[in-house]
Amino acid sequence: MEGNRNWKESARVTIFHMRALSIILETTGYVHVPYTYCNETVYPAVRLCYEIMYHFKDDEEVWESTSEVMVHLFRLSQLYEYHGQSDSDTVIMKHGLKFLTGKDFNAYPRVVERLLKLYGRSIFTKTPVFKRIFYPEYDFEIVEKLITLASRGLLSNDENTFNECLGTLIELFVHPSISVSNE
């Protein structure tokens, strides 16, 4: 960044790298990395993003591409060891499901896709992200709404949304997170 006197060329290279990194982070999905690696990779990457944004403070396109990377980095940092101590994911899930109740999914395909991508598959697997304990009635409420959301989403015109809904339903029934029997 510093050595290139051509500001626009430097911005284009930065945008290219930020978009490539965003694509890589998005396609890797949820990975478990120990807390020490989070300190060694994710947090320095966030600091670097802030430096890039400061350096290109007047370039909206650089800010946009860097912000996309930061969203993925923040999500990764939340997925590590201490994520289970936060209720932010349950709040997002609850309000996201409430927002989508009764709505036409074809009008909100990205909301459905992202919500299911973030929670639908991972919530029912044994990843460290979701090892925290739900209240049984709340867990049942989420599962019930997820089934409704994913079932209705199968009628979506958007292929990515359809695939996320299908994947969520498969996970719901292959790896159920709640017991159906009366104990």
The residue extents of the domains of the chain are: 1-174
The residue-averaged pLDDT of 68-82 equals 72
Q: pLDDT tens digit string along 129-175?
A: 333 334 344 466 777 787 888 888 888 888 888 888 888 888 777 76
Q: Is residue 1 very low, low, confident or very high in pLDDT (cuts 50, 70, 90)?
A: very low
Of 92, 180, 170, 80, which is closest to residue 131 (Cα–Cα)?
80
Give the model confidence (pLDDT) of 18-46 as tens digits: 989 888 888 876 666 666 677 778 778 88
Helix pair angle (60-79, 43-55), 10° resolution: 170
Instruction: Please give the pLDDT value at position 179.
Output: 52
**pTM of the entire structure?**
0.42
Confidence of residue 87 (pLDDT cuts 50, 70, 90): low
